[in-house]
Chains A and B, each alone.
Chain A
Amino acid sequence: MNDNNHDEPGHVVPYKMYVRVLVALLILTVTTVWVAQYDFGVMNVVVAMVIASIKAMLVALFFMHLKYENPLTWGYAIFPLILLTLLIGMLFLDNPFRVS
């Protein structure tokens, strides 16, 4: 399943990469606190979720080595998110349109 032919079963990432990712994560945390002072109306939650998703992607891609994983792992990393989107999406096809 792995495409590298070294002795190591998994992928070795340069140490510096981890440091850079940590710095980026901390900066993004400060950013999300900082932008929360401004009111963008309905966009507040969107901005916060976009920043959170960038952080989550950084953790997944580099700390969790998803970047170096095979398509199968990608599939099982993404499918639950599709299901969650489906669940939340359908709740919003129901709740706002109910006849009270």
Chain B
Amino acid sequence: MNSQTGELAGPPHVHHMDARTAYGAAKLGMWLFLGTEVLLFGGLFAAFAVYRWKYLGEFTHASKHLDWRLGGLNTAVLLVSSFFAAVAVDAAQHNDNKKVVRNLAITIGCGLLFLVIKYIEYSGKYHHGLFPGTAEWNSPEFNESYKCFFGLYFAMTGLHALHVIVGMIVLGWVLSLARKNRFSRKYYTPVEVGALYWHLVDIIWIYLFPLLYLVA
């Protein structure tokens, strides 16, 4: 026996992969992608760690300009949204496409509410001149370590908000599939994979909230 196969040969080579392999592949693919997201945000967390160490006093002071009540409210909103994303998977596992639609609609609604609250926070910063490009920001009196804190704040929360928007689009697509009754306990890969992405967005915020609003 010389070649790798020898005499044996299997069935005709037609199917790409069976349903269970496809499900496992999709989930593994999403977990890998979440790994890349962790390292994408990881760069920002690493920068934050270094500058917080470097400018501890200034960071603590600058962080007082953030409203922990709005941040805390947003944390709760995202946790609730994550819960509904998780139970959307549960509903699909019980063949209930209607509940998948309902749960995902609530998840997306929470995402929207999160963005509205974020917008209120951002516009507050803008009015206080704590926003890049305002006259106060560009004035020489604006402390450079403040600039560092708020630069990181806007970079981190802005990138996170972008992920919230992407997550809402992904879940909106899953929702549209659920409305066509595409899911059953045998096939619910998009619900699960979409929810995985949403949970990661939640996890990122779980770290952002105390770092930016509470202990900085």
Contact = CB atoms under 8 A, between A and B. Distances in A.
B76 A22 contact: no
B155 interface: no
Contact of B86 (A63, A73, A76): A63
Contacts of A65: 192
A96 B28 CA distance: 39
Contacts of A72: 28
B211 A76 contact: no
Contact of B28 (A21, A73, A92): A73
A59 B80 CA distance: 11
Nearest to B20: A9
Contacts of B42: 80, 83-84, 87-88
B166 interface: no
Instruction: Tell me whether chain B's interface is mostly helix, strand or loop, or mixed.
Output: helix
A1 interface: yes
Interface residues of B, number: 53
A19 B195 CA distance: 16
Interface string A57-100: 00110111100010011001101110110011001100110000
A18 B83 contact: yes
Contacts of B188: 10
Nearest to B80: A22
B214 A91 contact: no
B112 interface: no
Interface in B70-103: 72, 75-76, 79-80, 82-83, 85-87, 90, 93
Given A29-B72, A51-B210, A79-B35, A22 B46 contact: no
Q: Which of A26, A63, A77, A95 has the most CB of B within 10 A?
A: A63
Contacts of B39: 80, 83-84
Nearest to A46: B215
A48 B196 contact: no
B90 A7 contact: no
A18 B86 contact: yes
Nearest to A29: B75
B203 interface: yes
A64 B196 contact: yes
A36 B105 CA distance: 34
B179 interface: no
Contact of B90 (A18, A84, A95, A96): A18
Contacts of A8: 93, 185-186
A36 B215 contact: yes
B149 to A, nearest CB: 15
Given A29-B72, A36-B214, A49-B210, 17 more contacts: A1-B20, A8-B185, A12-B90, A36-B68, A36-B210, A48-B211, A56-B203, A56-B206, A63-B195, A73-B27, A73-B31, A77-B34, A81-B38, A87-B43, A91-B50, A92-B50, A95-B53
For the complex of A and B, the 4 pairs showing the least CB-CB separation, nearest first, are A48-B210, A80-B35, A36-B214, A84-B42
